[in-house]
Structures are given as C-alpha cells and as structure tokens.
Amino acid sequence: MNSSAKNVSQKVVLSYSAASLVATTLHGAGGNLMPTFYAENTSASLAGLGLALVLARSFDAITDPAIGLLSDRTRTRLGGRKPWMLAGCPLAMAGVYFLLNPSYDVSWLYMMFWFMIVSLSWTMIEIPHMAWGSELANTYNDRTRLFAMRTLLGAVGSMLFFMMPFMPFFEGGGYTAEVMSANALMLIVLLPICIGITVKFTPTVHKTPSEMDLLAANMGFKERVKYFVTSFAGNRPFQVFIVIFILWGIGVGMYGPLFFIYVSNELQLADKLAYFTVATMVCQMLATPIWMKIMTRFGKNKGWAASSFLALVGFMLLLVIEPGSESFLPILLVGAFLGAAQAGGVVAPYAVLADIVEYDQMKSGEKRNGAFYAVYLLVQKANIAIGAGLGLSLAGFFGYQAGMQNTEQAVLWLEIAMAWIPGVLILLSAIVVLKFPLTEDRLEVVQRWLARRQERPEVLTTGAKEIP
C-alpha cells in the first residue's frame, strides 16, 4: 500500500472538506427544493420546471468534461485545482442570489438560466475539489475517511440551509420567498470563507507528468476525445460503477423533489417541511461515521449495497402513512431513517471512484483524476435532471398539480413516481454493486503495480493486464 496516505492528517482532512459545506448545499439542498419552491412561488408549471432541469443538464454535458480535462492540464504555482475553485466562487455567489430571489411572474426559463449559472459555478468548484481529494489520499480506507468527512460537512451545510425557517425572525416552518432570500445571503457569505479555508490550508499536490501525460497533452481535440472514450470503454470497474450510479442516482433524483410536494400537498404538512429536512440532515450527519466504519470493515461495495437496501425500505414506508396532523411523527421518523440510510450511498461513490482512477492510471499510464470526476459529476447531474424531470413530468402528465385538489389517479401516479419506481431502481443498483470488481485486495494489486512502475519508469503502462 502507498505509505503517503498516512501523511494525510486530520487537519488536512478538515481543511479539505470545508469547501463541501457550501458546495454540497449549492447542488443538493438548493437543487432538490427548487422545483417545489418555484411551483409554489412563481407562475411556472411543473412540466415546465421539469423541462428546465433537463435542458440545464444538457448544458452540463459540455461544461463538465471540459472543466475536468482543463483542471487536469492546469499548471500554476497554486496547482491545477485551486485556481478553478477560486474562479467558481464569485460566479456561484451571483447565481445563488438570482436563483433564490425570483419574482412571481418569472417563467421556467428564468429558473433554467440561473440554475445553469449555479450549476456551472458548482462544476468549477466540485470537479477540481473531488479530483484533489483523490490525489491527497491514496489508500482504500484513507479515501473512505477523507470522503466521509467531506460528506459530513456537506450535510452540515445542507442542514444550515434547511434550518433557516426556524430562525426567530421567520414565522411558520415553510420555505417562503423570505426564507430562501435569507439562504441566498447565507451562501453568499459562506462561499468565500469556506473555499478560502480549503485553498489556504490544504496542501497542493503537484503532479509530475508521465510519458503518457505528455503524449496526451499534445493531442488535438478530436484525438483527445477519442482517446478518453476508448479508455473509459476499456475500464470495466468504471463501466460497472456508472451502471450502479445511474440506477441509484435516477431513483434518488425522482424521489427528492417529489417528496417535498408529497409532504406539502398530500400529507398536508407544508408548514412542517423544515422539520423533516433538518431531521434527515441530522441523521445523515450522525450516520456518516457509522457508514465509514462499516465500509472500512466490510468493504465499500457491501456498505453501498446495504445503504441501498435500507433506502428501499424507507421508500416503502412512505406509502403507508395516512395524511393529516397525525402523520407528522411517522413522516419525521421515516425521513430521519432515509437520511441515515442514504448517507452510505453518498459516501461510497466518491471513495470508490478514487480507486477506479488509480486503476485507470495503471492501465493508461496517465493521471486523469479530473477527467474521471468530470464524467462522474456529469452523470450525477444527469441523474438528478432525468430523475426529477421524469418524476415531475410523469406526475404532471397524469394530471397532478401542486397546491390543488387532485384525483386519486393523479395521487397514485405521484406515489409511483416518488417511491415505487425509485425503489425498483435502487434495488437493482444494490444487486449490481455487490458484483463490483475492484475490492480492497484487488486495489492492493494495482498499487503494487504502480509502485513497481515508479521504481522502473521504463515499464510500459499501457500494456497493463486486467486485475485477476
């Protein structure tokens, strides 16, 4: 195993993870709540909002890979990752202000444009940040520790966002225009502070270009695209990972925005939404260290599968809760259970992908952390857009309207889109993840191979064989 991972101190883990306090909130908390917020506070329709998400994510298909490749190739005194995070910060501040402060007469086009701006800024922060993490920690379990802390602080940021309605100067527990405006102000203040801590106190990892790095740097655009597509196509662990992540991600993407609509409209608890979201975030925070220990003890794939199975149970429990004031405690408990269950599914992908990047380095001879995390982030955004767009469109197609009295058929399709379809997708992902080929033992083989290559640079890396 690579001994350099032992040098990753807890101070570095904390400083590195500080950026996640705001980055996760930009994407997760704000993104999941946007369709419900715009449906209830603007003139935009559910179908239009679903289309806005899909179109916004189409824009990401261009920006995400480009930023991943460019951050891999950036060479400055600050390294290749920090400049991109610093550039994304002011863009995120502007985007958050306008996205969370819409007037009532805006259309879905307004949300789409500012959602694209926030998404672009998040990409500029998130891709370099994830790639940087895989460079800081090099062992199977140390990556779990680093990305678990990243997940934990991300949950703290999301909780701050969702707790805003509890502030004494707001009445009720809903996410009103005033509450969202206050959240925008909070993020604008925290963004430069948290990213500044990460950039200031986390060490830069200066990469020494390999022979394959230099060859790739001299390729034209078309050659480079073909090179990466061929490399990804020949990477079986990455292929399995993408299948798992698509199944899991679309399921969670469908559930997220529809849960808020379901609780607000069908369970008639709109003024209690903040309680549910805070309970979910608190339990996710508390569960993250537990999932870290489970994955360290039994393996990331088994931990991820267990997380998916528990999330499936939570989805089914949602459907047995009867509407009315008595549903408050049951939905609170189910939301808390889902938060704890899904924490494992948040930690695992980041840590698993770091292992896949190292496997790719053995196969290709090139360090392409940013490129792999760009593809991952693109799939993650696509999952949320496709999931949210599919769920909102499906409910809207069968006549469901937020804030209105709906037919039994419309409510049934809302439940199907919110729980049944996501449950099936997550079950399939759990089955596939148990077959994931890159275990801790096999990663040790990869790292021994890379260690031998460092000792003998003349070894031809592109001829590396598949792991047994």
Task: For residue range 196-242, list pLDDT tens digits in order.
Answer: 999 999 988 765 544 444 444 444 545 555 655 666 677 889 889 99
> Which pLDDT score is estimated for 348?
86
Mean pLDDT computed over every residue of the chain: 81
Identify which has the larger pLDDT, 467 or 362: 362
Q: How confident is the model at residue 468 (pLDDT cuts 50, 70, 90)?
A: very low
> Which pLDDT score is estimated for 5?
41
Q: How confident is the model at residue 15 (pLDDT cuts 50, 70, 90)?
A: very high
Q: Does domain 3-463 have CATH number 1.10.3720.10?
A: no
> Which pLDDT score is estimated for 194?
95
Q: How confident is the model at residue 299 (pLDDT cuts 50, 70, 90)?
A: confident
The domain spans of the chain are 3-463
Q: What is the pLDDT of residues 32-57, one digit of tens each?
A: 678 778 888 888 877 788 788 778 77
Q: What is the pLDDT of residues 74-105, one digit of tens each?
A: 778 888 889 999 999 999 999 999 999 999 99
> Which pLDDT score is estimated for 230?
65
Number of Cβ within 10 Å of residue 455's Cβ equals 8
> Which pLDDT score is estimated for 28?
59
Q: Is the pLDDT of residue 306 over 90?
A: yes
* Per-range mean pLDDT, top range of 132-146, 276-290, 441-455: 276-290
The mean per-residue pLDDT over the stretch 248-277 comes to 82
Q: Is the pLDDT of residue 467 over 70?
A: no
Q: Is the pLDDT of residue 461 over 50?
A: no
Q: Is the pLDDT of residue 30 over 70?
A: no
> Which pLDDT score is estimated for 270?
74
pLDDT-above-70 percentage for the chain: 87
pTM of the model: 0.68
Q: Is the pLDDT of residue 365 over 80?
A: no
Q: What is the pLDDT of residues 396-412, one digit of tens each?
A: 888 887 777 888 888 88
The mean per-residue pLDDT over the stretch 180-204 comes to 93
Number of Cβ within 10 Å of residue 76's Cβ equals 11
Say which range, 80-84, 370-374, 435-439, 457-461, has the weakest mean pLDDT. Answer: 457-461
Q: Is the pLDDT of residue 308 over 50?
A: yes
* Per-range mean pLDDT, top range of 164-168, 280-284, 335-339: 335-339
pLDDT-above-90 percentage for the chain: 20
